[in-house]
Amino acid sequence: MENIIKTESLTKKFGDLIAVNAVTLNVRKGSLFGLLGPNGSGKTTMIKMLTGQIVPSSGNAHVFGLDVATDPVGIRTLVGIIPEQESPPSFLTAMEYLEFIGDIRKIPDLEQKADWWFDFLEYEDKRNVLCKDLSRGTRQKLMLTQAFIHNPELALIDEPLINFDPIMQDKVKAFFVSYTKQGNTLFISTHLLETAEEICSEVAILHVGNLLYTGTMESVREGNRHLSDLFLSLVRT
Ligand SMILES: Nc1ncnc2c1ncn2[C@@H]1O[C@H](COP(=O)(O)OP(=O)(O)OP(=O)(O)O)[C@@H](O)[C@H]1O
């Protein structure tokens, strides 16, 4: 099956600190890929490199065949991301922010698509509220909306569920599963191991920048093993 993301010895150093150490992995089309790891293991750094927000120190990564180092804008045009800032501009309303995204991405039928997302994520009543006055969960809804509103074939999202209540988490999880069942690819980082076990088709486990495991959820579950058992056995050693 086609690899949508390919990395080879991908490395990021911040001074003497090696945040991501020679990671080689492939993400297949249609995967719901979960990147797991303890605090500071390099998950955000990986996502930032794969979305062209920071440049690798060495090694390489290709997304849709585009090199993250030389074509970051090409990649960001194609994929859905929540940018580094993670918050919409405070001086725009939710709808004004989506119009701004619609202009940049040249999205046809923006109004109609925004209506669908306001309804689906249940924040229609916040449409005309300034972003600075939105709750953290509602800001996360808006950021998810802007990541998916142009119907990308690939989205890379750092901790997509963390600010949501359990009901909204269920709804978003179901969306992620149906999004990938349609042939799209989703790459998420998460600390929620039960959630990853429930929805991911493949996982990778990072520990102090090193890739300790990558495999399908079937291979994780061999012998009735739980993802948390595998995770803890790898990162506690
Ligand atoms: N801009 C930076 N400058 C210096 N060090 C950085 C920078 N960004 C990240 N790091 C370091 O790189 C390492 C990996 O950080 P990263 O944010 O990628 O981890 P993470 O797995 O996403 O962590 P968490 O689960 O806590 O969000 C950490 O030691 C972090 O302190």
Looking up residue 165, the CATH number of its domain turns out to be 3.40.50.300
* Residues 206-234: tens digit of each pLDDT: 999 999 999 999 999 998 899 999 999 99
The answer, yes or no, to whether residue 149 has pLDDT greater than 80, is: yes
Centroid of ligand 1 to alpha carbon of 187 (angstroms): 18
Give the predicted TM-score (pTM) of the model: 0.95
Asked if residue 94 and residue 69 are part of one domain, the reply reads no
Predicted local distance difference test score (pLDDT) of residue 162: 87
* Residues 185-196: tens digit of each pLDDT: 999 999 999 999
Q: How many domains does the chain have?
A: 2
Distance, CA of 220 to CA of 8 (rounded, Å): 23
3-state secondary structure of 213: strand
Asked if residue 208 and residue 95 are part of one domain, the reply reads no
Report the amino acid identity of residue 82: I
What ipTM does this complex have?
A: 0.98
Q: What percent of the chain has pLDDT over 90?
A: 92
Distance, CA of 42 to CA of 128 (rounded, Å): 37
Which of 35, 43, 55, 231 for mutating ligand 1's site (highest number of atoms within 8 Å of CB)?
Answer: 43
Cβ burial 193-230 (10 Å sphere, 16+ → b, else e): bebbbebbbbbbbbbbbebbbbeebeebeeeeeebeeb
The answer, yes or no, to whether residue 1 has pLDDT greater than 80, is: no
Asked if residue 18 and residue 8 are part of one domain, the reply reads yes
Distance, CA of 223 to CA of 212 (rounded, Å): 19
CB 176 within 8 A of CB 32: yes
Distance, CA of 186 to CA of 197 (rounded, Å): 15
At 95, is the pLDDT very low, low, confident or very high (cuts 50, 70, 90)?
Answer: very high
Predicted local distance difference test score (pLDDT) of residue 84: 59
Q: Examine the fold and report which residue of 151, 172, 195 is the final residue of a domain before the chain moves on.
A: 151
* Residues 22-56: tens digit of each pLDDT: 999 999 999 999 999 999 999 999 999 999 999 99
How many C-beta atoms lie closer than 10 Å to residue 187's C-beta? 26
Asked if residue 161 and residue 145 are part of one domain, the reply reads no
Asked if residue 174 and residue 192 are part of one domain, the reply reads yes
Pocket of ligand 1, beta carbon within 6 A: 14, 17, 19, 37, 39-45
The torsion angles phi and psi of 118, rounded to 5 degrees, stand at -60, -40
Asked if residue 218 and residue 123 are part of one domain, the reply reads no
Which of 10, 11, 12, 14 for mutating ligand 1's site (highest number of atoms within 8 Å of CB)?
Answer: 14
Centroid of ligand 1 to alpha carbon of 178 (angstroms): 31
Asked if residue 104 and residue 57 are part of one domain, the reply reads no
Predicted local distance difference test score (pLDDT) of residue 82: 85
- Beta strand 66-67 with 185-189 is unpaired
Cβ burial 113-143 (10 Å sphere, 16+ → b, else e): bbeebbebbebeebeeebbeebeeebbbbbb
Asked if residue 176 and residue 221 are part of one domain, the reply reads yes
**Closest ligand 1 atom to Cα of 38:** 25
Asked if residue 229 and residue 209 are part of one domain, the reply reads yes
The answer, yes or no, to whether residue 87 has pLDDT greater than 80, is: no
Asked if residue 97 and residue 75 are part of one domain, the reply reads no
Query: 60 exposed, middle or buried (CB, 10 Å; 0-12, 13-18, 19+)?
Result: middle
- Beta strand 185-189 with 154-158 is parallel
Output the residue whose Cα is nearest ligand 1's atom 16: 42
Asked if residue 171 and residue 144 are part of one domain, the reply reads no
